[in-house]
Amino acid sequence: MKRSSGAGRLMALSTVMAGVLMASAACGSPASSERSVTPAAEGALPRTASVNARLADANVSGVDTRLTDAKPAGAKPAGVDARLAGSKAAGSGSSGAGTAVERCRTGALAARVGAVDAGAGQRYAPLVITNRSARACWVYGFVGLIMIDRNGDALRTRTRRESVQPHRVTLRPGAGAHARIHWTEVRSGRETSCPAAARLMIIPPDEVAHLEIPFTAAVCDDGRLDITPMAPGTRL
């Protein structure tokens, strides 16, 4: 398994980000079925490093609602304003009620790897992403991953996406979603050793900026990590 430093690490990150964006374009819009997650008591959020937070300005599309001439008996006279009564004026101090839920941005998220389930050389663990902002947001699809050794060098990482249908998962403030990571510590082929990872770079779905968290593992099979799409909850 190869490692690279400096420019090699940057190139590895660029490659993974390009793959994430291409896969997102191929998947199209999120599926109509949406699963909502309520906050859970997960303890203090872990400290993350190298967070490049880029929050995009919200784009709000106006809807012109017009009444038709046909009125049922007892209806209000023509000229009634059909705009939504629940709309809020800018700067009203609303906590987000009545506004559209947007995609989760990297700067609004925290990440961690949960408890590892080990058996017969196989390892399974939940990769948990938590909404640490004050507003609800949603995630959809797969994360990008790059393993890093204790010297800060990027390790060869082969992320294989499992054939599982993605669903949009809405995260309320403090709530989390997870993806299942699988790897093996059994050497295969000509492998004589499996380089040890110390940290993991995570690129949330459809994002460019990344999170970086501790990840201690010896990943064999040429750095292969199997990953499922984001799903509700923080446990497997």
CA distances (Å), origin 185, targets 97, 119, 122: 47, 10, 6
* CATH class given for the domain over 106-232: mainly beta
CB 131 within 8 A of CB 40: no
| Average pLDDT for 6-27 | 56
pLDDT tens-digit series, residues 29-52: 454 444 554 444 443 444 444 334
Residue 67's pLDDT band (boundaries 50, 70, 90)? very low
Domain borders along the chain are 106-232
Is a pLDDT exceeding 90 seen at residue 109?
yes
Higher pLDDT, 132 or 70: 132
| Average pLDDT for 56-80 | 42
Cα distance between residue 112 and residue 202, in whole Å: 10
Residue 77's pLDDT band (boundaries 50, 70, 90)? very low
Q: Is 21 exposed, middle or buried (0-12, 13-18, 19+ CB in 10 A)?
A: middle
The pLDDT value recorded for residue 203 is 98
The pLDDT value recorded for residue 99 is 77
Is a pLDDT exceeding 80 seen at residue 143?
yes
- Residues in contact with 192: Cβ distance below 8 Å, sequence separation at least 6, in sequence order: none
